[in-house]
Amino acid sequence: MSIVNNTTANMQKAGLASGFDFLESTAGFSIIQALVPYSESSTYGQAFMVSLVNTLLVAVIGCLLATILGFLVGIGRLSKNWIVQKVATLYVELFRNVPLLLQIFFWYHAVLKPLPGPRTLHEAGDKVFLSLNNRGLVMPEPIPQDNWGIIVFLFFAGIIASIFIARWAKNRQKTTGQQFPVFLTTLGLVFGLPLLIFLLLGSPMELKPAEMSRFNLKGGVTIIPEFVALVLALSIYTASFIAEIVRAGIQAVNHGQTEAANALGIKNSTTLRLVVIPQALRVIIPPLTSQYLNLTKNSSLAAAIAYPDLVAVFAGTVLNQTGQAVEVMAITMGVYLTISLLTSLFMNWYNSRIQLQER
């Protein structure tokens, strides 16, 4: 009880009103990367949304890159090729044992910040398609034209159709034994058909390149170096852990399974796809979700290089400006807790679904 008394007494003394009304006040600061509409006159609540979207963006792209890289390195560690195996081991042991903060600093201060500025690279008046300079990665701005919606619709329809076709093909194979080229069909429906229609409709997407003005590139889409450094460092760091998880998962599959598949005359690649990887996934998925969670939480290190994620903007700038420590920290920790608990729930559901049914 005395803790509550102390807290209220201290907060009253500091003139802090408790409650969440501060979310409606004007923010008064700008954010360098805002994927939802935001300006200096937006409220703190909108600043919260912007920073939350930034965090989720880093988390999703980081998880994607980390998974791809982690799987590649993990399988590389099991390769028969001596040099590939040694390079993969070197990668894992190097990036696992160096702190993440140091890796973020390395990418940001040692690789991206020393790049030359736009003035050094381009002449005024140039139209620039792709530029990597110390203000970020500048790409052309995609401006969708009239029929773009059709292409997007075809893309998603293709994905859904592929799911149904895969299911139908599996059933047909069970009943009649005939195989269906599912992979090629999926490729055609999801990528080929939209691409074809895109070309037929006359490319309804304009890529407007950036133009070099006297000091800086104007227009185009800029990916800020803080984002690149954070995503690179997070992906490479987490991929080293994922590589070990993948290696453990594949090694956990009984060698007898591979031997039996080979005895049946099945090719190595088909064995991997149908026998080893489904069983390995059972061992891989729980720690993998754990690593995704770690990556999401580690994205909070963005505060060290001033990338505007949830902790840096909300628990940093907003907390400093309003002084509402208790509410701000409660909201911030609440967000991370929600993400963690959702992931835990998913993991428990997945575990119970794939449990080995033992007699």
Partner 1 sequence: MAIINHKMLPAKAPPKNLVGPSAWVKNNLFDGPINSLLTLAAIYILYLLVPGTLDWTLFSATWSGGAEACRINNEAACWPFIAVRWEQFMYGYYDQALRWRIDFALMLLFVGILILAVEEDTRQSAKWKPWVMGLLIGLIALFASLMIKHGAGLITTLILSTVTAGVLLAFWNQQIRLKIGIFMLVIYPLIAFVLLKGGFGLKETSTNSWGGFTLTLVIALTGIVASLPLGVLLALGRRSEMKIIKTFSVIFIEFWRGVPLITVLFMASVMFPLFTPPDVEIDQLLRALVGVALFSSAYMAEVIRGGLAAIPKGQYEGAMSLGLPFWKMMRLIILPQALKIVIPGIVNTFIGLFKDTTLVLIIGLLDLLNTVQAATTDPTWSISSVPYTGYAFVGLVFWVFCYGMAIYSRYIEEKLHTGHKR
If one asks whether residue 300 binds partner 1 (CB under 8 A), the answer comes out as yes
If one asks whether residue 273 binds partner 1 (CB under 8 A), the answer comes out as no
Quick one: 198 or 292, whose CB is closer to partner 1? 292
Quick one: 209 or 309, whose CB is closer to partner 1? 309
In angstroms, what CA-CA distances link 91 with 4, 98, 243? 50, 11, 10
Least distance CB 132 / partner 1 (angstroms): 18
Place of tokens 């608990």: 341
If one asks whether residue 329 binds partner 1 (CB under 8 A), the answer comes out as yes
If one asks whether residue 319 binds partner 1 (CB under 8 A), the answer comes out as yes
Shortest CA distance to 166 belongs to which of 140, 148, 184?
184
Among 190, 239, 301, 318, binds partner 1 (CB under 8 A): 301
If one asks whether residue 56 binds partner 1 (CB under 8 A), the answer comes out as no
Shortest CA distance to 318 belongs to which of 263, 310, 335, 346?
310
Among 25, 39, 79, 351, binds partner 1 (CB under 8 A): 79
If one asks whether residue 337 binds partner 1 (CB under 8 A), the answer comes out as yes
In angstroms, what CA-CA distances link 221 with 55, 61, 228, 255? 19, 17, 14, 50
Quick one: 217 or 228, whose CB is closer to partner 1? 228
If one asks whether residue 352 binds partner 1 (CB under 8 A), the answer comes out as no
Shortest CA distance to 70 belongs to which of 234, 268, 183?
234
With contact defined as beta carbons under 8 Å apart, do 229 and 305 qualify? yes
If one asks whether residue 115 binds partner 1 (CB under 8 A), the answer comes out as no
With contact defined as beta carbons under 8 Å apart, do 235 and 72 qualify? no
Site for partner 1 in 88-107 (CB under 8 A): 93-94, 96-102, 105-106
Least distance CB 93 / partner 1 (angstroms): 6
**Helix or strand (DSSP H, E) at 173:** helix 148-176
If one asks whether residue 81 binds partner 1 (CB under 8 A), the answer comes out as yes
Residue 204 three-state SS = coil
Tokens of residue 87, six digits: 């390079």
Shortest CA distance to 187 belongs to which of 198, 179, 195, 197?
195
Tokens of residue 146, six digits: 């009239």
Site for partner 1 in 29-48 (CB under 8 A): none
Binding site for partner 1 (CB under 8 A): 3, 6-7, 9-11, 13, 79-84, 87, 93-94, 96-102, 105-106, 109-110, 297-298, 300-301, 303-304, 311, 315, 319, 325-326, 329, 332-333, 336-337, 339-341, 344
